[in-house]
Structure 1
Amino acid sequence: MSRFLSNDFINKDPRAKLTVAKLANIGDLVAPTAEYLTATGLIELTVTAGCVITIGSTGVFKTDATILSAGNLDAGSVFTVGKDYYVYICDPGSEDLDEVYKISLNSTYPDGYDAETSRKIGGFHYGRVRQVNSKLIPINTAGVEKGSGWESNVASGIVPRSVWTTKHRPKCSPEGMVYAGGGLWVDIYIASSNGVGGVKSAYGTTPLTGTEGHNSYGFIDLGLKSGKRLLSYSEWQQAAYGSPQGADGNNTNAWAATSNTARTTTGKVANAVSAIGCVDCVGNVWEWLDELSYRHDGTQSWGWKDVLGAGNGQVYTEGTYGLVRLIAGGSWLDGVVAGCRAVYCDYCPWYVRAGSGARFGCDSL
């Protein structure tokens, strides 16, 4: 690490002086790659060398390759599962000192600094990490692809694809999301209430379902308020890939045992995590998708059906049911039916179903 610029007051005309304050006011963050923060271990990040970063009007710094860990926390000494952390570069306040990196649960600035002396450069989610090889195939502890015991080869750590920067992030708030690729970010957790009319992706929360009165249209509205959208079936499969199948007789790998009687909080089953870090894709609750199909059973009579809710118009269908929306993954009591490709093509989009929730996605900024 190094201080990139310092003040030199040799020039007497103030208009001719290239000061740190001037450069900071016109500068930004220049990086050799958009992903200038990467997870290089379960409990460490690496800052890419060669980034030029301004901090308020106090400093301009050029980064060296730097490893960050729990030692950079502004409070505490260990990371906590289920938490979103923010990474800051800070100016220690002396021309003789180089930049300081802090990792914090605070989303504004870290303890000991303020908005003028620190700058947020990214963040990550600390959660459950499925062990995979370079081909993204789940492996067991011996490194064998889908070898015996691969389902439980999960550790607590920085979720690699959750690491975001100011130049590599979703258009919405990045907390609790992973990058699936192709410009798509996906929620790590099934949607729960954010308390202000929208949704959040958070650990240890109760998933929203029809129990709270939501059908698929309601989830679409909730996503809108948070800058997110429902996933297509293929996008959902990418998120769920590598998640173990449910079982009839236990909840070891998914909350799906046939003896279960209700949904549970997100992240309760440690093994229920996909190759890219999405949790509870299999079991707990079905997830509404942004794909429609059609049912031709029931009374065959074309007509308008007043099923969309008061003030929302009506739907013209052939039969009693007609339009259906796909749900994926399986619920709390589906056993071996639940899996990373499981899909149910039966329910109308207006149906308020206690066993169906949603997982949202967002495009890259």
Structure 2
Amino acid sequence: MTDSTVFQEASNVLTEATQASVAQTEAAQALTAEVANKTAAIDEKVNQAIALLNASLDIHIDGLFNKRIVSEPAFQIDAGTLKSYTDLSVEVNGVIYSFSEGSALALPSSVTVGTDYAIYATPDGLVVSANFTVPEGYTASTSRRVGGFHYQDGEINEYSLYDLRYYPDARNWLTGANDPRGMARVPGVGWVDIYYLNTTPDLLGTSAFGAQIADGASPPKKPQYWGGDGVVQYSDFSQYTASRVLAAYGKRLVTTHEHEQLAFGVVTGAKVGSDPGTVQYHADTTSKFGIVGATGVMWQWALERWDRGNGASGYSWMSGTDGEGQRYTAGSEGIGAAIVGSAWDDPEPGPRTSHWSNEPSTSHSAFAARGRSDHFESC
């Protein structure tokens, strides 16, 4: 083989190697570009996911009120001291504050019987105040109302404790605001007004200590939701009227079955002896759940109505609906309406005491009413 032949073969080998190298370089560049494109696409997806996560976190942080225990209020009485029953995380003006289980809450230096108190989360801890707008020394930016309770008979009613995720579902139909004041939760019943319905529920709420009791001699003022102006009173206090008034505040009358439970713990047979006029406390007529005047003070309208006829004969159209239509009943007393609890001078007051001879249109000075609402809780 001549030198020229060897040189030519070497040149061919070198050319082939160069071409292969160029091809490999181009393939590597293409692969690098593909990887870069895919990396950019992945980065975009990641950024989208982060944005969605941040948005989700913003939603949950705004208004955050987190507690580990759902089926109990966040606050309870422990050996006479008000404490947080669980660890709490609460957002106040964009800042999250944590409060440990067992944290003690100091009551105001002076507490008043028959008063509702609010619990606030603040940068300084959990604060109790009778002010339902902001606690003393704080503003709306440095505090947030997260619960509350009713103080009666020299102590906190433990059944009245509530928080933002555990409370009576008693929504004022005019304002849309939920009003937990003056209520206690009773097993198998729901939340019950501690006190009788009063004559000025738009002003005081439906359950207020010391207020004038709404009854046949002192009918309540018409709620603004039903067209009231703060002056006009109903002409009577029939079962119809009592039901109408309570409905404006997201409540209804209790049933005879519910009264049996909410009045548990009273002294059967105990009674106050005279028309009280205003809501007052008497130990013997107050139930285990702090329901004042459950028996032996005023009869209370119950929810039940029934047909007194035989269902077949003697029926005709009758008035007696406070001007809202007529009733097809067996005579003028064809519909029965129950009352419960017994009055100040009537016989046999007790949790299961009931009276079944009245009509829903009856109005009497010894007939009062008490509201009841459903329970709400969420995780």
Q: TM-score, normalised by structure 2?
A: 0.72
CA shift for structure 1 position 318: 1.1
Match of 1:216 among 236, 239, 251: 239
Q: Hey, what's the Cα distance between the residues in 1 that align with 2:340 and 2:351?
A: 8
**Cα distance in 2, alignment partners of residues 179 and 41 from structure 1:** 20
Q: 2:285·2:297 contact (CA, 8 Å) conserved in 1?
A: no
Residue type of the partner of 2:157?
V
| Residues 49-91 of structure 1 deviation map (CA, whole Å, 9 limit, x = unaligned) | 422111112x21121124435x342xxx132211100011112
State the partner residue of 1:136.
Answer: none
**Cα deviation digits, residues 159-214 of structure 1 (max 9, x gap):** 11000111110111111101113471111111113353895111112211111221
Residue 64 of structure 1 corresponds to which residue in structure 2?
Answer: 100
> 1:249-269: per-residue Cα shift (whole Å, max 9, x none)?
xxxxx32x3xx3x23322232
Aligned alpha-carbon RMSD (Å): 2.6
Between the aligned partners of 1:314 and 1:199, the Cα distance in structure 2 is 32
Contact 2:150 2:156 in 1 (8 A): yes
Q: Is the 8 A contact 1:243 1:275 kept in 2?
A: yes
Which residue of the other structure, out of 54, 57, 69, is the alignment partner of 2:91?
54
Name the counterpart of 2:267.
244
- Report the residue type matching 1:162 in the other structure: S
Distance 2:82 2:203 in 1: 34
1:333 Cα deviation (Å)? 1.2
Counterpart Cα distance in 1 of 2:214 and 2:111: 27
Cα deviation, 1:309-354, whole Å, max 9, x if unaligned, reads 22x10011113311011000011211x4211111000000011122
Query: Alpha-carbon deviation of 1:226?
Result: 1.0
Change (3 A) 1:325 1:63: same
Asked if 1:355 corresponds to 2:366, the answer is yes
Partner residue in 2 for 1:141: none
Asked if the contact 2:188–2:258 (Cα under 8 Å) also holds between the matched residues in 1, the reply is no
Change (3 A) 1:116 1:124: same
Write 1 or 2 for the structure with the bigger share of helix: 2
| DSSP-derived class of the 1:210 partner | coil
Name 2:110's counterpart in structure 1. 78
**SS of equivalent to 2:289:** coil
Amino acid at match of 2:93: G
Alignment partners' CA distance in 1, 2:189 and 2:343:
29
Whether 1:234 aligns to 2:272 is no
Change (3 A) 1:72 1:24: farther
- Given that residues 190 and 207 in structure 1 are in contact (C-alpha distance below 8 angstroms), is that contact kept between their aligned partners in structure 2? yes
Query: Aligned equivalents of 1:177 and 1:27: distance in 2?
Result: 25
Q: What's the counterpart of residue 314 of structure 1? A: 326
Kept in 1, the 8 Å contact 2:69–2:86? The answer is: no
Cα gap change, 1:296/1:199 in structure 2, threshold over 3 Å: closer, same or farther?
farther
What secondary structure, in the 3-state scheme, does the structure 1 residue paired with 2:149 have?
A: strand
Q: Against the structure 1 CA distance between its residues 165 and 197, is the aligned structure 2 distance closer, same or farther, given a 3 Å change threshold?
A: closer
Q: Which residue of structure 2 lines up, in the alignment, with residue 152 of structure 1?
A: none
Distance 1:41 1:175, change over 3 A: farther
User: Contact between 1:183 and 1:364, CA under 8 Å: does it hold in 2?
Assistant: no
Matched, 1:126 2:148: no
Query: What residue in structure 1 maps to residue 25 of structure 2?
Result: none
Q: List gaps (5 residues or longer) in structure 2.
A: 1-50, 171-178, 220-235
Number of aligned residue pairs:
295
In 1, are the aligned partners of 2:122 and 2:144 still within 8 Å (CA)? yes
Deviation sequence 1:250-290 (CA, Å, 0-9, x none): xxxx32x3xx3x23322232332101111101122100011
Structure of higher CA gyration radius: 2
After TM superposition, the structure 1 = structure 2 runs for residues 96-115 of structure 1, keeping only pairs within 5 Å, are 99-115=124-140
Q: What is the aligned partner in structure 1 of residue 48 from structure 2? A: none
Alpha-carbon distance between aligned partners in 2 of 1:349 and 1:198, rounded to the nearest angstrom: 26
TM-score by length of 1: 0.75
Structure 2 distance, partners of 1:52, 1:346, is 54
Contact 2:193 2:372 in 1 (8 A): yes
Match of 2:64 among 14, 28, 31: 28
Q: How does 1:91-170 map to 2 (within 5 A)?
A: 91=123, 99-128=124-153, 156-170=154-168
Deviation track 1:85-107 (CA, whole Å, cap 9, x = no partner) reads 0011112xxxxxxx422110111
Residues 205-246 of structure 1: CA distance to partner in whole angstroms, max 9, x if unpaired? 221111122100101110111111111111111110111123
188-197 or 30-39, which moves further after superposition?
A: 188-197
> What percentage of residue pairs aligned between the two structures are identical?
27
Q: Which runs of 5+ in 1 are unaligned?
A: 1-14, 92-98, 129-155, 248-253
Q: Distance in 2 between matches of 1:109 and 1:197?
A: 20
List per-residue Cα deviations over 1:112-143 (Å, max 9, x = no partner): 11111111110000113xxxxxxxxxxxxxxx
